[in-house]
Amino acid sequence: MSDIQSVLNENRVFPPSDAFVKQANVSGMAAYQAMVDASQKDYPGYWANLARENIQWKKPFTKSLNDSNAPFYKWFEDGVLNVSYNCLDKHLTTQPEKIAIKFEADDGKVTHINYRDLHARVCQFANGLKSRGIKKGDRVIIYLPMSIEAVISMQACARIGAIHSVVFGGFSSKSLQERIVDAQAVAIITADFQMRGGKLMPLKSIVDEALALEGCDVIKNVIVYKRAGGEMTFNAQRDVWWHDIETNQAKVCEPEWVDAEHPLFILYTSGSTGKPKGVQHSSAGYLLGTMLTMKWVFDYKASDVFWCTADVGWITGHSYVAYGPLAMGATQVIFEGIPTYPDAGRFWKMIQDHKITTFYTAPTAIRSLIKLGGDLPAKYDLSSLRLLGTVGEPINPEAWMWYYNVVGQGRCPIVDTWWQTETGCHMIAPLPGAMPIKPGTCTLPIPGIQVAVVDETGLEVDGTHGGSLVIKKPFPSQIRTIWGDPDRFVSNYFPEEMRGFYLAGDSAHRDEDGYIWIMGRNDDVLKVSGHRLGTMEIESALVSNPLVAEAAVVGRPHDIKGESVVAFVVLKGARPADSATAKKLIEDLRNWVGKEIGPIAKPDEIRFGENLPKTRSGKIMRRLLRAIAKGEAITQDVSTLENPAILEQLKEVIK
Ligand code: WTA
């Protein structure tokens, strides 16, 4: 690992303009440094002060960090609060009329809801959930399109102390089943259909399919939001319309006051083994993280119109759609559709129409919009923008420069935010009125977070040598455990050799200014269009096909998606005799993976071999497969390979 060298040589530096610095929440490097110093002087006290200033407590806490049972850290544990109260009720006296959400549907129809009405609807829906017997601690699956209702569902769960687990609408019935069973959920909130790019796609029928699978009889309630009103089967015993449980309910609902450590949600994410991990977050620490980063990284101002394009099915949509903006009392835009419908100017038109000030999206979206219409932003009035952000994967300097010059017109700082499902909020990101930015680096940790780049033994490496990125101290917004699997939590994130540091799973290096450059995952996790996919998950999906004996999946760099999925498959029978048979089989296997996991996991390419390249001890040589997938000449030593002849087979691309 320590021989990973950075190949990027990026020297451009963009300091914030005087005008930006002047108005920023954190102005200048000295202000940033003062915060860092304060956190180092009294670490628990630093976070305690922030938690007191930012959160409205029902009962104040007296303890900050409890590390007596590391790595099962607790923060502010004797404090009592409700997250939904902090996102909604606290605005009722100060700004009830302020628009909380501007929802733009796929077809362009816009709906506004202010804080008073959002609070009322969350209360009504929360009362509706209670009327169905759903209570504190119950797990509720949310499988909804981007909508005001998705936010209401999450907030209503938080209000009654139920633990939500949002499943992205692109996941299959099989993935849904896996999550239902693992979480032992009692209810699902879904919609009849979702509308994306002018197309109607079913959700409820996928839920029905999932509920017919093993172990899903734990679900007692299916609550269905009528989005489109198409044909759909309805099971009167189990299914209930959203509007039937929301209307006629009282518009007030006393929040369930919970302990700071009460789980707010579980979000499943891919790891290095086949089974997704249920990342469990706390209430207070998580809320605090989202609020601080809204202020520091997004430089939030009351006059902002904030738009994070992420789906609520991912962590970004949790922290910067469902919770952070509401906790700050922001006006935000939520978008149902896709960036390319009706054309590739959709995002830019929306920025113009809604006068967006803060725009946060993924590098993959930026790259695809450059390709589909790099000159389109110039056709719209983007003068409302003051800050841009990216998340989910490294951004290449060309895409960064385009984003900076063409979208931001050289006026808007870009916050390249590094974080993870597990960290709950930004960890390494510029404070835009403080740090000079450089294309391709997420710069420095937010004040209070201490990171390091280490070797395999947890010792810090220096200079431009790459290594593993770790977070050295516990922090309030971090993952509390893996739902139902505390051992995996410990071994995955706090392996012994890392000396108590949190192991992120990314490789990184530091430059001469101490800026962090993320080089990608160093475990078997892929980032495809910013979505996190485990190679093992895709492999086990492939192997569950009756025709497949063995499979190995690797990532290959892709211009737009960041990475694409390449699968090497060994069939139980002979390799396909001709290209027509092979093509048919490839299509079948791709669809199979789509059904098993979801369309996002479908391999872009499948190749067949009589065997996989293995060492004599039986280990699949993944590095070799990566080189083959990229079409590179093989420079590795293949003398330990059991069957070198198969390399020729695996190089064969079926067109
Ligand atoms: C990657 C998304 C480079 C990284 C919030 C991390 C990034 C994984 C960045 C987490 C960034 C996220 N630059 N890489 N700014 N942000 N990543 O859980 O590999 O979906 O470990 O959370 O995305 O993905 P996740």
Is the CB–ligand 1 distance for residue 4 below 6 Å? no
pLDDT of residue 271: 83
Separation of 546 CA from ligand 1 center, angstroms?
34
Which residue out of 268, 425, 506, 535 has the highest number of ligand 1 atoms within 8 Å of its CB and is therefore the one to mutate?
506
d(C-alpha 241, C-alpha 234), whole Å: 9
Half-sphere exposure of 576 (CA within 13 A, CB side): 19
Q: What three-state secondary structure class fits 185?
A: coil
Residue with tokens 């087979």: 649
Helix 204-211, helix 173-183: angle, nearest 10: 60
Please say whether the dihedral angle defined by the alpha carbons of residues 319, 365, 198 and 589, taken in this order, is positive or negative: negative
34 CA to centre of ligand 1 in angstroms: 27
Give the count of alpha carbons within 13 A of 432, CB side only: 25
Q: How far is CA 87 from CA 55, 414, 639, in A?
A: 10, 26, 61
CA distance 283 to 157: 12
Q: Give bridge partners of residue 306 from the DSSP assignment.
A: 332, 358
SS3 99: strand
The span from the CA of 541 to the CA of 526, in Å, is 15
Residue type, 106: D
| Atom of ligand 1 lying closest to residue 420 CA | 22
Q: Which of 171, 315, 391 to mutate to test the pocket of ligand 1 (most atoms within 8 A of CB)?
A: 391
Cα 544 → chain centroid: 27
Give the separation between CA 482 and CA 475, rounded to whole angstroms.
17
Could you tell me if the CB of 518 is within 6 A of ligand 1?
Answer: yes
pLDDT at 652: 86
Which runs of E-coded beta strand occur in 129-217?
Answer: 139-143, 163-166, 187-191, 193-196, 199-202
Is any ligand 1 atom within 6 A of the Cβ of residue 600?
no
Q: Which of the listed residues 280, 312, 418 should we mutate to test ligand 1's pocket, taking the one with most ligand atoms within 8 A of CB?
A: 418
CA geometry: angle at 559 spanning 635 and 469, to 5°?
70
392 CA from centroid of ligand 1 (Å)? 4
Residue 137 CB-density burial (10 A; 0-12 exposed, 13-18 middle, 19+ buried): middle
Q: Please state the three-class secondary structure of 539-575 as a single string.
A: HHHHHCCCCEEEEEEEEEEECCCEEEEEEEEEECCCC
22 CA → ligand 1 middle, Å: 30
Q: Is 563 in the pocket of ligand 1 (CB under 6 A)?
A: no
The verdict on the CB of residue 318 being under 6 Å from ligand 1 is no
**Which residues in the chain land under pLDDT 70?**
1-9, 463
CB 119 within 8 A of CB 97: no
Q: What is the CA radius of gyration of the chain?
A: 24
Residue whose CA is at the smallest distance from ligand 1 atom 6 = 420
Write the residue with the smallest CA distance to atom 24 of ligand 1.
420
The CA 489 to ligand 1 mean position distance, Å, reads 19
Is the minimum distance from the CB of 392 to ligand 1 under 6 angstroms? yes
What confidence score (pLDDT) does residue 8 get?
A: 53
- CA distances in angstroms from 332 to 121, 169, 320, 481, 581, listed in the order given: 17, 21, 10, 31, 50
| Cβ 521 under 6 angstroms from ligand 1 | yes
Joined together, the tokens standing for residue 377 give: 């932003």
Distance 435 CA to ligand 1 centre (A): 20
Q: In degrees rounded to 5, what are phi and psi of residue 111? A: -125, 130
Q: How far is the CA of 211 from the centre of ligand 1 (A)?
A: 32
Please give, one letter per residue, the 3-state secondary structure of 439-495. Answer: CCCCECECCCCCEEEECCCCCECCCCECEEEEECCCCCCCCCEECCCHHHHHHHHCC
506 lines ligand 1 (CB under 6 A): yes
By alpha-carbon position, which residue is closest to atom 14 of ligand 1? 393
The helix (run of H) or strand (run of E) holding residue 28 is: helix 28-41
CA–CA distance, 395 with 441 (Å, rounded to integer): 8
Ligand 1 in reach of 530 Cβ (< 6 A): no
- In a mutational test of the pocket of ligand 1, which residue from 316, 446, 527, 537 has the highest number of ligand atoms less than 8 Å from its CB? 527
Question: Cβ of 470: how many Cβ atoms within 10 Å?
Answer: 24
Give the residue, by CA position, lying nearest to ligand 1 atom 3: 394
Residue 308, H or E segment: strand 305-308
Per-residue burial over 537-565, b if 16 or more Cβ lie within 10 Å, else e, is: bbbbbbeebeebebbbbbbbebebbbbbb
- Among 388, 532, 533, 600, which is best to mutate for testing ligand 1, by the most ligand atoms less than 8 A from CB? 532
3-state helix, strand, coil in the chain (%, to 5): 35, 25, 45
- 188 in Cβ contact with 153 (< 8 Å): no
- Written as six digits, the tokens of 32 are 């940033």
| pTM for the full predicted model | 0.95
pLDDT, residue 5, reads 45
Q: Are 601 and 594 in contact (CB under 8 A)?
A: yes
What is the pLDDT at residue 569? 96
- What's the 394 CA to ligand 1 centre distance in angstroms? 8
Q: Measuring CA to CA, how many Å separate 62 from each of 27, 77, 490? A: 31, 8, 27
Cα 261 to ligand 1 centre (Å): 25
Pocket of ligand 1 contains residue 311 by CB under 6 Å: no
Query: Does 416 sit in the ligand 1 pocket, CB within 6 Å?
Result: yes
Closest ligand 1 atom to 421 CA: 18
Beta carbons of 567 and 606 less than 8 angstroms apart: yes
Amino acid at 165: S
pLDDT value, residue 644: 80
Three-state secondary structure along 275-288? CCEEEEECCHHHHH
What residue's CA is closest to ligand 1, atom 22? 420
User: 362 near 392, Cβ under 8 Å?
Assistant: yes
DSSP state of 297: T
Please name the residue that has the structure tokens 């699978």: 213
Question: What phi and psi values does residue 48 have, to the nearest 5 degrees?
Answer: -65, -45
Instruction: Give the distance, in angstroms, between the CA of residue 547 and the centroid of all CA atoms in the same chain.
Output: 33
The dihedral through the CA atoms of 181, 186, 192, 197 has a sign that is: negative
Alpha carbons 57 and 418: distance in angstroms, whole number = 29
Crossing angle of the two packed helices 284-296 and 43-54, in degrees rounded to 10: 80
